[in-house]
Amino acid sequence: EPEVTQTPSHQVTQMGQEVILRCVPISNHLYFYWYRQILGQKVEFLVSFYNNEISEKSEIFDDQFSVERPDGSNFTLKIRSTKLEDSAMYFCASSVDRARYGYTFGSGTRLTVV
């Protein structure tokens, strides 16, 4: 069964450093998303990406965050200057047709900012 692949599975970074989280969505999916989950809390939407541009973003997705689909297969989330409160599980997801058939999520990247 097709999978969404995320790398790395765990990343530890110093506060103030830049991090890039990587994702390979399912090949025939057109919509791409990033979500985060702070430990023990709900899953929060960050951004959606369609047709090579951001289609929607949340209040969390401020100027510190950016997304890219650099080569037609990878989908990346960059955090420019990490803060302690950015420590969370970050999930990439993709879908064929928005929410119609649900999203397929990756296994997540656990980001720890120290």
Partner 1 sequence: AQTVTQSQPEMSVQEAETVTLSCTYDTSESDYYLFWYKQPPSRQMILVIRQEAYKQQNATENRFSVNFQKAAKSFSLKISDSQLGDAAMYFCAWGSGAGSYQLTFGKGTKLSVIP
Region binding partner 1 by CB under 8 A among candidate stretches 10-18, 42-50, 68-76, 78-86: 42-50
Give the strand pairing for 109-113 and 10-13: parallel
Q: Where in 1-114 does DSSP place strands (E)?
A: 5-7, 10-13, 19-24, 31-37, 43-50, 53-57, 65-68, 75-79, 88-95, 104-105, 109-113
Among 10, 43, 68, 114, indicate the residue that binds partner 1 (CB under 8 A).
Answer: 43
Among 31, 36, 87, 88, indicate the residue that binds partner 1 (CB under 8 A).
Answer: 31
- Contact track, partner 1, 66-105, x by CB under 8 A: -----------------------x-x-x----xxxxxxxx
Q: What angle do CA 18, 27, 57 make, to 5 degrees?
A: 45
Give the strand pairing for 5-7 and 43-50: unpaired
Q: Cα–Cα distance between 114 and 97 in angstroms, integer?
A: 38
Among 11, 58, 64, 74, indicate the residue that binds partner 1 (CB under 8 A).
Answer: 58
**Does 41 contact partner 1 by CB under 8 A?**
yes
Shortest approach of partner 1 to residue 16 CB, angstroms? Answer: 26
Binding stretches for partner 1 (CB under 8 A): 31, 33, 37, 41-45, 48, 50, 55-56, 58, 89, 91, 93, 98-108, 110
